[in-house]
Amino acid sequence: MAISMEFCSQLPWSFNPTPPPTSNLFLSITNPRFLFVNKVNKSQHLCHSSSLSSSNQQQQLQEPLAQDDGDDNGDGKYDDDDDDGKGQFSNLVKEYGWQVRRMIEKDDEMRSVANIQAEAFHQPLILFNDVFFQFFQAEVLAGLLYRLRNSPPDRYACLVAETSTSDNQEEKQLVGVVDVTVFREESVLKHLSEANEYLYVSGIAVLHNFRRKKVASVLLKACEMVAVLWGYKYLVLRAYEDDLGARKLYTNAGYTIVSGDPVWTTSWIGRRRRILMLKQCDI
């Protein structure tokens, strides 16, 4: 079952929105992070973009993304105390042979996250599919860097699922990923009792070879743990109404449907209708 859900790239409510859809697809990645420019006469930050050939795009994917590898002590280990106060949430959940923690902001791990989400959400093309997949992967990676740069550590987290059969960090394989972000959208808050913010779950993705092995279920449990640790009563997500597999997954995890996109915004323009689902946490 391919987990299909709205791939949300929005930032927390208190920050500027993500780059508008008119941004060039071939986003430029620089070292150590992503290059930003202020657009004239607009208060929001836009991702600096440029038109790149496929060879240049591939070369940029091999460049370092960040100098901070999470090893502040220089001991070769990535401890909870080595994350500059961001809290790795080590071993949030450990079940079915998988364990979930917060993503470490180092090159190879961020690239793995981008690859997992790109594999899950990329729509295959008949021609030049490999080339466009690389472009899409670069765009996903750029979005991840943007969220990390613009979000406080207690309002956004990227969680990763990995194998738990080995104690050696280098032997572990990332198999799934999910984003959690603090939001306060009025159209959602009207469904929540005595809450002015909530934790939004998005971008859940599992590598193709590891689907139907409880990875997504473990990721959802980890999201609930983050909600409890951050003190949020509600978890919220959106799913496509016609994606019965995803709806069953979320229902089994305790989510209930509270609303859906208005029919007039979907039927006449051919958009897939989304449903809003929420879960209340015991905090």
Instruction: Write down the pTM of the prediction.
Output: 0.71
> Would you state the pLDDT for residue 62?
41
pLDDT value at 90 more than 90: no
> Would you state the pLDDT for residue 81?
41
- Beta strands 45-47 and 156-163, pairing class: unpaired
104-129 core/surface letters (b: 16 or more CB in 10 A; e: else): bbbbebbbbbbbbbbbbbeeeeeeee
pLDDT-based confidence at residue 250 (cuts at 50, 70, 90): very high
Residue 240 annotated in active site: no
Q: Which of 156, 198, 250, 255 is catalytic?
A: 250
To the nearest 10°, the Cα dihedral for 14, 231, 92, 173?
-10
> Would you state the pLDDT for residue 169?
62
Determine the Cα–Cα distance for residues 141 and 118; give it in Å rounded to an integer.
9
- Tell me if 1 sits within 8 A of 217, measured CB to CB: no
Residue 276: C-alpha distances to residues 97, 259, 279 (Å): 30, 5, 11
For residue 45, how many other CB atoms are within 10 A of its CB?
19
Mean pLDDT of 69-83: 41
Instruction: Give the rounded percent of residues in the chain with a pLDDT score beyond 90.
Output: 54
> Would you state the pLDDT for residue 88?
59
Determine the Cα–Cα distance for residues 47 and 36; give it in Å rounded to an integer.
5
Interval 22-61: pLDDT, tens: 333 333 333 333 332 232 233 233 222 222 333 443 443 3
Quote the DSSP letter at residue 231.
T
> Would you state the pLDDT for residue 167?
66
Spell out the alpha helix ranges (H) of 33-128.
54-61, 107-121
> Would you state the pLDDT for residue 165?
75
Beta bridge partners of 5: 239
Q: Which of 26-35, 117-126, 174-183, 216-225 has the lowest mean pLDDT?
A: 26-35
Q: Which of 49-53, 79-83, 93-97, 225-229 has the lowest mean pLDDT?
A: 49-53
Which residues are within 8 A (CB) of 13 and not within 5 positions of it... i.e. 6 or more apart? 182, 183, 184, 185, 197
Mean pLDDT over the full length of the chain: 75
Q: Which two tokens stand for residue 78?
A: 């990535």
